[in-house]
Structure 1
Amino acid sequence: MKLRSDDSIAVVLPSPIGDSLIGLVLVDNLIRNGYRPVVFGWVAEQLADWFPHVTVGRRDAWRGAFDTVIELRPTDYASTLSRSGKTICLATLPEYGGSKHMVDRIVDIAKNVLGLSDVTRENGLVVPAGVMRGRFANRVVIHPTGSHPEKMWGRKKFLALSRVLTRRRLRPSFLVAPAEFGVWGDIAEEGCEVNALPKLNEVAAWIAESSWFIGNDSGLGHLASCIGVPTLSLFMRQGLARSWRPGWGPGAVVLPPSFLPFGGLRERLWQRLLSVRRVTSAFQTLHGKHARAVHDHATADLPDAKSMQTTRLGMLPGAQSRRF
């Protein structure tokens, strides 16, 4: 299934943020090997400034334009981009399955299926010049939601974790989607900061200018990892974490204790079994491992670090924020 050097190539990304960021690993490898794919998907559109080497297309303008169309999973429009009406769906390939990390599966496909010679695990993300990485040395982004409710830790536990972080002189900052702000905005009355940003590039900037990220198994954990922000991810089970944990920057996974004998029972009870103390301990280990490097980097770039820590990132139009 090696690609011809003169092929016109489209890559159609899936809708979930994490899946798209993993799919961009394939895009980056195509570019490294001399191809010029056109990429489709809302994540690539909203993060265009973060992937400056990627050409982003709008589907209506590219009907029937490509010799080869690659999609990670079946979509409702990828075939319309193909001259032949056919696509290469990575999810149907043997290399897409198995127990390896998803990034490594994409690397295997790039190397062994598409025949690319210069292959990397990176996806090409570049932090834009206007974003100051790690600007807020004590800010911990907490992402308490996700697209799958069964993967979400409890609200009360996230609030308890926030109080622990505050006592340790860190600054927890809850980050939710605009549609979730009505449900989560009231935590400001408990002394919490909660923000909702309308565009993914604004979310990326907020995460990049923070120093730590804690969240459920969700796409924003992958985004934080891409950017290089130390990331603690809460997972319901080990197998899921093995394949889907954020796989780029420094990070760790925290799981519930595994004393229950049945996997299905552990999945149903994982939110109860995963304690605030266990998550706090995992974060403390991650913090201790990387705080020195983060501090040295921040000090080198920000001579007046004390005054910078008291400055809030300006909220963009459409953003919502509450702090008691």
Structure 2
Amino acid sequence: MKLRTDSSIAVVLPSPIGDSLIGLVLVNNLIRNGYRPVVFGWVAEQLADWFPHMTVGRPDAWQGAFDTVIELRPTDYASTLSRSGRTLCFATLPEYGGAKHMVDRVVDIATNVLGLRDVTRANGLVVPADVMPGRFANRVVIHPTGSHPEKMWGRAKFLALSRVLIRRRWQPSFLVAPAEIGGWSDIAEEGHEVNALPRLSEVAKWIAESSWFIGNDSGLGHLASCIGVPTLSLFMRQGLARSWRPGWGPGAVVLPLSVLPFGGLRERLWQRLLSVRRVMAAFQALHGKHACAVRRYSTADFGDAPAAQTTCIGMLPGARSRRL
């Protein structure tokens, strides 16, 4: 399916944060190849300043406006944006299945289905100028919640992890959604820092100005990864991690011990099988590996090379995010 560069294109993102950030890989590649898609979804709206190449639309203003409407998974309004009432849904394509990482599945569709020639795994995120990456060198964001309870490590274990980090002179900072604060505000009395920020752009800034991220298999891990913050993700099983681990910046996955013979039983008991000691060891390994990489970079001999400039592949010169 070859898209015409003069056709109007909409990309409708799924509601989950991680899925939306993966969907923005498609948006970035469309722009790299000369298209001007309009993007729909609450994640795009709230992170518009972090994607300066992106045009964001509101569905009620674009009814029946597009020649082509692309959605990663079925939504309840994408068809209303299409002149024909039809959409191209990635979830129905063979390339969207299989064992590859989700980002690579989107890249495959962009290349082999849409026929794009200049394709990248990047989603185009650019840290805004008023954000200071890594400003707090010892701050470790802990994200203890998520949209799927079965994927969440235990509350008591996250608190124990936080105490270990504090003893080792780290600054753990719990980050939860505003609707979740009631279940976590009490831990502030123990001396734990807890934040519930109302907008995703504020969450992104908090993560970007931290230096490390530890969390469940959830959308904020993907956000930390594409910002470039080293990310440790807790997964219940290897197959899930293979497809859904944060796939951009430096990071690692920690899995429970595989001591039970049956997969279903391992999934039901994974929180018990994943110890605080195992997670802390994985964090220390990630820290050591990242520190070595930073030292190698900082001591490299660049000779008379010009000062490095931050660039974003696919970003148009002088581009700004637009809300339509």
Letter in 1 for 2:185: G
Is the partner of 1:198 in helix, strand or coil? coil
The separation in 1 between residues aligned to 2:133 and 2:292, in whole angstroms, is 16
Letter in 1 for 2:147: S
The separation in 2 between residues aligned to 1:2 and 1:295, in whole angstroms, is 45
Letter in 1 for 2:71: E
Residue of structure 2 in register with 1:102 after alignment? 102
How far the C-alpha of 1:289 sits from its partner, in A, is: 1.1
Residue of structure 2 in register with 1:115 after alignment? 115
The separation in 1 between residues aligned to 2:40 and 2:142, in whole angstroms, is 29
Is the Cα contact below 8 Å between 1:138 and 1:210 reproduced in 2? Answer: yes
Task: Mark the runs of 5 or more structure 2 residues left unpaired by the alignment.
Answer: 299-324
The separation in 1 between residues aligned to 2:292 and 2:114, in whole angstroms, is 41
Is the partner of 2:10 in helix, strand or coil? strand
Letter in 2 for 1:267: E
TM-score, L = length of structure 1:
0.90
Is the Cα contact below 8 Å between 1:11 and 1:38 reproduced in 2? Answer: yes
Is the Cα contact below 8 Å between 1:67 and 1:84 reproduced in 2? Answer: yes
Residue of structure 2 in register with 1:311 after alignment? none
- Residue 75, structure 1, aligned to residue 75, structure 2: yes
How far the C-alpha of 1:293 sits from its partner, in A, is: 5.4
How far the C-alpha of 1:291 sits from its partner, in A, is: 2.9
* Aligned residues: CA RMSD: 1.3
Task: Mark the runs of 5 or more structure 1 residues left unpaired by the alignment.
Answer: 299-324
Residue of structure 2 in register with 1:256 after alignment? 256
Letter in 2 for 1:179: A
The separation in 2 between residues aligned to 1:181 and 1:259, in whole angstroms, is 35
- Residue 197, structure 1, aligned to residue 201, structure 2: no
Letter in 2 for 1:5: T
Letter in 2 for 1:33: N
How far the C-alpha of 1:297 sits from its partner, in A, is: 9.5
Is the Cα contact below 8 Å between 1:13 and 1:41 reproduced in 2? Answer: yes
Residue of structure 2 in register with 1:57 after alignment? 57
Residue of structure 2 in register with 1:208 after alignment? 208
Identity of aligned residues (%): 88
Residue of structure 1 in register with 2:127 after alignment? 127
| Residues 193-220 of structure 1: CA deviation (Å, up to 9, x unaligned) | 0001000000000000000000000000
Deviating more after overlay: 235-244 vs 2-11: 2-11
- Residue 242, structure 1, aligned to residue 242, structure 2: yes
The separation in 1 between residues aligned to 2:189 and 2:54, in whole angstroms, is 43
How far the C-alpha of 1:5 sits from its partner, in A, is: 1.9
| Residues 109-165 of structure 1: CA deviation (Å, up to 9, x unaligned) | 000000000000000000000000000000000000000000000000000000111
Is the partner of 2:184 in helix, strand or coil? helix
Letter in 1 for 2:127: V
Is the Cα contact below 8 Å between 1:50 and 1:125 reproduced in 2? Answer: yes
How far the C-alpha of 1:221 sits from its partner, in A, is: 0.1
How far the C-alpha of 1:7 sits from its partner, in A, is: 1.1
Is the partner of 2:173 in helix, strand or coil? strand
| Runs of at least 4 residues off by over 6 Å | 295-298
How many residues are matched?
298
TM-score, L = length of structure 2:
0.90
The separation in 2 between residues aligned to 1:283 and 1:58, in whole angstroms, is 40
The separation in 1 between residues aligned to 2:256 and 2:49, in whole angstroms, is 38
- Residue 26, structure 1, aligned to residue 26, structure 2: yes
Residue of structure 1 in register with 2:277 after alignment? 277
Is the Cα contact below 8 Å between 1:134 and 1:294 reproduced in 2? Answer: no
Following superposition of structure 1 onto structure 2, how do residues 226-241 of structure 1 map, counting pairs within 5 Å?
A: 226-241=226-241
Letter in 2 for 1:197: L
The separation in 2 between residues aligned to 1:248 and 1:155, in whole angstroms, is 27
Residue of structure 2 in register with 1:313 after alignment? none
How far the C-alpha of 1:292 sits from its partner, in A, is: 5.1
Residue of structure 2 in register with 1:224 after alignment? 224
Inter-CA distance 296–192: structure 2 relative to 1 (3 Å threshold): farther
Residue of structure 2 in register with 1:266 after alignment? 266
